[in-house]
Chain A
Amino acid sequence: MTGTRAGSAPPAVPAVRVPRRRGTELALLIVAVLLSVYGYCDVGLAKNGTVPPGAAGYGAGLGVLALLAHLAVRLRAPCADPLLLPIAVLLNGLGLVLIYRLDLETPNDEAAPAQLIWSTVGVGLFTAAVLFLRDHRVLQRYAYLSVVTALILMIVPIFFPAVNGARIWIRIGGFSIQPGEFAKILLAVFFASYLAANRHALAYTGRTLWRLRRLQLPTGRVLGPIVAIWLLSVGVLVLERDLGTSLLFFGLFVILLYVATGRLGWIAVGLLLAALGAFAVGSLEPHVHSRVQDWLHPFASIDAGDGPNQLAQSLFAFAAGGMLGTGLGLGHSILIGFAAKSDFILATAGEELGLAGLCAIFLLYALLVERGYRAGLALRDPFGRLLAVGLASIVALQVFVIAGGVMGLIPLTGMAMPFLAQGGSSVVTNWIIVALLIRVSDSARSQPLGEVAR
């Protein structure tokens, strides 16, 4: 915790007023909306030879949502990072385009209208969060409320029937909600708050003997609650058979613990725990075991004469895209079948936009994460820093887990590509994450300069 500052952090010359860059944000938003509308038209032209009838409405709808969000930011977070909102709008718009594009292949199962409604809800919550959450430090007070709510949200779906092998859904009427998605934010808030309060204890207890004690666990008094929470959440997730979210929570926990304490021992212990857990779950739990087998031998089902499985189809889709892609609407990623619009949405992007488009999407996510980290670096209060890093890391880990999964880098775990994938809970959660990042970045950029963060 030496608190050095790099040249890229707050400007060296104390300015009277930090440039707010709201105009930049507006310009980028217009670009994001236009890009999405262009993609929407492109799909229609490629598939039917005409601009889709809803193009104007779609563009107007997305534009209004973007404007609404922009006005909220302009009003209540005038110093916020200008890149966050346009990236979110672009990814959400692109996701709608991809889902609409896949809807054309499945005329009886349209997902884009519902996704648009959920996006509206998401932007609404974003706006509300920006308007009413005036200071992120308020959240620190609700750490324990957050964790209890998170646990409840994660436990509730166990009492609902499993969908496709995972008990992560609540179905009420026609709507299905994935409460685990919201739990992410709550857990990040709790971790940030708890670690901000206890980081010194965690960092300094038992650090007397260099090599031996460095790896030694701190006293149970300090460590107990957090490990208990972690065990609970992971246990619940194993019960729900949702390996992806489990991996996400674990990764989030380790990253925040490291950032808070700076102890490599945590990383070592964390990796050890992860390896043990992965091995145990991978060999004992049949659902997960088959995923690992699919990852190791993606073409085994072809050799067995059963045709390509989803992962093989996904790899075929990416390969068909090549460098430049087939063009929107011209690929055949629908061959993936089930979950083509949700877990495997990236395969459509990979096939139709190619490696070039895929890299662009990855870089958009990377930029989003980078802006989150930058806000974390610029902030001075430990809670804010940990919250920013935590929220950004959620995005980074989620993208890695699902993108790595559908591209054969790691075993496949069902998870939503942030903003792109079909899934209401996911899109709403991601909008709240962006709202919180806007809030912390506004705090970071509007705070008085000259003071060194500690």
Chain B
Amino acid sequence: MTRYIRHAAAFCALLLLALLVNATRVQVVDSDSLDHNPANRRQAIARFGQPRGDILVDGRPVTGSKDTGEQLRYERTYKNGPLYAPVTGFASQVYGTSFLEDAEDDILSGTDPMLAPLPLWNDVTRAQNPGGKVETTIRAAVQQAAYAGLGGKRGAVVAIEPATGKILALVSAPSYDPERLSGTSRTVADAWTELNGWPSKPMLNRAIRQTYPPGSTFKVVTAAAALEAGVVTDLDAPTKSPSPYTLPGTSTQLTNEVDGCVNASLRTAFRWSCNTVFAKLGVDTGLGAMVGTARDFGFNDRGLRIPSSVAASNFDTTLDKAQLALSSIGQFDTRATPLQMAMVSAAVANGGSVKSPYLVDRTTTADGDVLDSTGTRTLRQVMSPGTAARLREMMTEVVEKGTGTNAAIPGATVGGKTGTAQHGVDNAGTPYAWFVSWAQGADDPEPAVAVAVVVEDASADRGDISGGGSAAPIARAVMEAALSGGAAR
């Protein structure tokens, strides 16, 4: 019997071996794929198990965390949710993250390996790092001026520091409070449905995710292309432009809103926004130069990130002459995000150098040790400093004695360009009012701020919507806030 008992014992040992091998399979070999199974709640539990790191504006947090004691424990709170929603985005237990909450999620949630005190430290100790902080380039005063300026009208405002590319304001209206999406309760789902159902699309970040026909503000690009290509050498020379202008190859006649555009000089045409002159100028400059300049300003770039991805602005690369004429005055298929037009204005203000716009100044650990800081990065030199100076001259005249007088700031040099963009079938939609500008304080060596404003106010009187009327005052308020803040610094 002894032999058989030994056999039975060996069988039991075999069972033990099977258990041990299987335990190794589940706990070591397959553990990674099991840990990352989307149905495994542990990642979410760990993710919300500690307060999320904060997003800072002017060194002060605009976010917070609330301990709910539930399974997904900490919920995101926002101190001034609607104001900063286009910057922060939301961090929801149910609907994920967006914008900075998404782009910097690893830092904020504490999973970024850079937060660990030592490499691989957390893999051994299973410790979780406290969430790091994200310091934005936003300046509260500028952001508030932009938000108040829009006053809930549909539209967007972007302000950039031309020399660096720092985004000083990023506003989209109407906005929403992202805190409504924090948590797991029924009200969160209701809020999500409600916010997505509104026709005004409050969760759409119009500043970077929506493109509009830029209308006459695109004439800055056309003028830059014409000057760089040498099509125009003297700002004051007549341009031999008829009015109305018959689009090449068609019988369609393009007219102006104002008189005095016949044969006007570039300076005059820019000041009064002559469609005929710029349509012809675009055709004279040629498709290649126009596309090249537009691309250098940032059009047709699908890869721009600030660090959230920015919708690509569009300037068609295959156009016939009639289409090119319309595209050159910011119509046809030409579309731009407010950020893109702010970049155009900033490039003019900054001597033709396009800086990569950015929203995150630096990221730090919870204790404030710097992990990463974003430096200024030059994307391209879109035009010579001379051309930029001549454009600044023309833009200044728009504000001093042209269509943009509403943007003038006493004691500061302000350059701008208005735009009124037709859209919709047969241009039946309410036009978009645009204003792009830059401002230089009296004591500043260079322009301190470049702004793009778009107002798409469906409720406003059609005749009242124009870049100079609706958008320029907002731009002025934003520039004033930026300039006074700059002086304070």
What is the chain A residue whose CB lies nearest that of B125?
Answer: A324
Judged by a CB distance under 8 angstroms, whether A350 is at the interface is yes
Residues of chain B with a CB closer than 8 A to A355's CB: 23-24, 27-28
What is the chain A residue whose CB lies nearest that of B38?
Answer: A302
CA distance A355 to B28 in the complex (A): 8
A319 close to B35 (CB less than 8 A): yes
- Chain B proximity mask over A356-384: 1 for CB below 8 Å, otherwise 0: 00110010011001100100110000100
Q: Decide: A332 near B23, CB < 8 A? Known: A302-B39, A369-B12.
A: no
How far in angstroms is the closest Cβ of chain B from A264?
A: 9
Majority SS at the chain B contact face: helix
A259 close to B5 (CB less than 8 A): yes
Judged by a CB distance under 8 angstroms, whether A354 is at the interface is yes
Q: Decide: A326 near B126, CB < 8 A? Known: A259-B5, A307-B39.
A: yes
- Chain B proximity mask over A256-282: 1 for CB below 8 Å, otherwise 0: 001111100000000000000000000
Residues of chain B with a CB closer than 8 A to A404's CB: 18-19, 22
Interface residues of B in 1-53 (CB under 8 A from A): 1-9, 11-13, 15-16, 18-20, 22-24, 26-28, 30-32, 34-35, 37-42, 45
How far in angstroms is the closest Cβ of chain B from A87?
A: 15
B1 close to A354 (CB less than 8 A): no
A315 close to B19 (CB less than 8 A): no
Judged by a CB distance under 8 angstroms, whether A393 is at the interface is yes
How far in angstroms is the closest Cβ of chain A from B72?
A: 11
Other-chain contact of B26, A258, A392, A408 (Cβ < 8 Å): A408
CA distance A44 to B332 in the complex (A): 70
Q: Decide: A321 near B27, CB < 8 A? Known: A332-B41, A332-B42.
A: yes
Residues of chain B with a CB closer than 8 A to A213's CB: none
Residues of chain B with a CB closer than 8 A to A392's CB: 12
How far in angstroms is the closest Cβ of chain A from B125?
A: 10
Residues of chain A with a CB closer than 8 A to B41's CB: 332, 335
B20 close to A362 (CB less than 8 A): yes
Residues of chain A with a CB closer than 8 A to B34's CB: 315-316, 318-320
B4 close to A259 (CB less than 8 A): yes
Judged by a CB distance under 8 angstroms, whether A65 is at the interface is no
A5 close to B23 (CB less than 8 A): no
How far in angstroms is the closest Cβ of chain A from B50?
A: 13
Other-chain contact of A323, B1, B27, B40 (Cβ < 8 Å): B27
How far in angstroms is the closest Cβ of chain A from B28?
A: 6
How far in angstroms is the closest Cβ of chain A from B6?
A: 8
B2 close to A370 (CB less than 8 A): no
B1 close to A318 (CB less than 8 A): no
What is the chain B residue whose CB lies nearest that of A4?
Answer: B2
B20 close to A260 (CB less than 8 A): no
- Chain A proximity mask over B43-85: 1 for CB below 8 Å, otherwise 0: 0010000000000000000000000000000000000000000
Other-chain contact of B31, A2, A322, A358, A382 (Cβ < 8 Å): A322
Q: Decide: A258 near B39, CB < 8 A? Known: A3-B2, A5-B2, A323-B28.
A: no
How far in angstroms is the closest Cβ of chain A from B34?
A: 3
Q: Could you say which of B3, B32, B38, B39 has the most chain A C-beta atoms within 10 Å of its C-beta?
A: B39
Residues of chain A with a CB closer than 8 A to B5's CB: 259, 373, 376-377, 385, 389
Majority SS at the chain A contact face: helix
B23 close to A350 (CB less than 8 A): yes
Residues of chain A with a CB closer than 8 A to B15's CB: 396-397, 399-400
Residues of chain B with a CB closer than 8 A to A299's CB: 37, 39
CA distance A226 to B11 in the complex (A): 23
B23 close to A453 (CB less than 8 A): no
CA distance A315 to B42 in the complex (A): 12
Other-chain contact of B16, A3, A308, A362 (Cβ < 8 Å): A362
A409 close to B37 (CB less than 8 A): no
Residues of chain A with a CB closer than 8 A to B28's CB: 322-323, 355
Judged by a CB distance under 8 angstroms, whether A248 is at the interface is no
Judged by a CB distance under 8 angstroms, whether A155 is at the interface is no
CA distance A17 to B16 in the complex (A): 35
CA distance A262 to B1 in the complex (A): 7
B26 close to A259 (CB less than 8 A): no
CA distance A385 to B3 in the complex (A): 12
CA distance A321 to B23 in the complex (A): 11
Judged by a CB distance under 8 angstroms, whether A438 is at the interface is no
Residues of chain B with a CB closer than 8 A to A6's CB: 2, 6
Judged by a CB distance under 8 angstroms, whether A163 is at the interface is no
CA distance A404 to B21 in the complex (A): 11
Judged by a CB distance under 8 angstroms, whether A170 is at the interface is no
B45 close to A362 (CB less than 8 A): no
B22 close to A409 (CB less than 8 A): yes
CA distance A382 to B5 in the complex (A): 11
- Chain B proximity mask over A101-131: 1 for CB below 8 Å, otherwise 0: 0000000000000000000000000000000
Residues of chain A with a CB closer than 8 A to B8's CB: 255, 258-259, 373, 389, 393
Residues of chain B with a CB closer than 8 A to A138's CB: none
B16 close to A366 (CB less than 8 A): yes
How far in angstroms is the closest Cβ of chain A from B185?
A: 19
CA distance A150 to B261 in the complex (A): 109
B23 close to A308 (CB less than 8 A): no
A316 close to B23 (CB less than 8 A): no
- Chain A proximity mask over B333-372: 1 for CB below 8 Å, otherwise 0: 0000000000000000000000000000000000000000
How far in angstroms is the closest Cβ of chain B from A316?
A: 5
What is the chain B residue whose CB lies nearest that of A307?
Answer: B39
What is the chain B residue whose CB lies nearest that of A3?
Answer: B2
Other-chain contact of A396, B2, B3, B12, B35 (Cβ < 8 Å): B12
Judged by a CB distance under 8 angstroms, whether A312 is at the interface is yes
B1 close to A407 (CB less than 8 A): no
Residues of chain B with a CB closer than 8 A to A94's CB: none
How far in angstroms is the closest Cβ of chain B from A256?
A: 9
B9 close to A320 (CB less than 8 A): no
Q: Decide: A350 near B27, CB < 8 A? Known: A316-B37, A389-B5.
A: yes
Judged by a CB distance under 8 angstroms, whether A1 is at the interface is yes
CA distance A373 to B8 in the complex (A): 9
Judged by a CB distance under 8 angstroms, whether A403 is at the interface is yes
CA distance A280 to B19 in the complex (A): 26
CA distance A320 to B43 in the complex (A): 10
How far in angstroms is the closest Cβ of chain B from A41?
A: 20
Residues of chain A with a CB closer than 8 A to B42's CB: 316, 320, 332, 335
Residues of chain B with a CB closer than 8 A to A376's CB: 5
Interface residues of A in 414-454 (CB under 8 A from B): 453-454
CA distance A320 to B34 in the complex (A): 8
How far in angstroms is the closest Cβ of chain B from A234?
A: 20
B27 close to A409 (CB less than 8 A): no
B40 close to A408 (CB less than 8 A): no
What is the chain A residue whose CB lies nearest that of B46?
Answer: A332
B23 close to A400 (CB less than 8 A): no
Q: Could you say which of B3, B7, B13, B23 has the most chain A C-beta atoms within 10 Å of its C-beta?
A: B23
CA distance A255 to B32 in the complex (A): 38
CA distance A319 to B30 in the complex (A): 7
Residues of chain A with a CB closer than 8 A to B9's CB: 370, 373
A-B contact list, 27 entries, CB within 8 Å:
A3-B1, A5-B2, A258-B4, A258-B7, A258-B8, A259-B4, A260-B1, A302-B37, A308-B39, A308-B40, A312-B37, A315-B26, A316-B40, A318-B27, A319-B31, A320-B35, A320-B40, A327-B126, A355-B28, A362-B20, A362-B23, A370-B9, A373-B9, A377-B6, A399-B19, A407-B22, A408-B26
14 extra A-B contacts, CB within 8 A, seeds A299-B39, A370-B9, A407-B19: A255-B11, A258-B7, A259-B4, A318-B27, A319-B27, A319-B35, A320-B40, A322-B28, A350-B23, A362-B20, A397-B15, A399-B19, A404-B22, A407-B26
The 7 nearest A-B residue pairs measured at CB: A319-B34, A319-B31, A396-B12, A302-B39, A400-B15, A355-B27, A409-B22
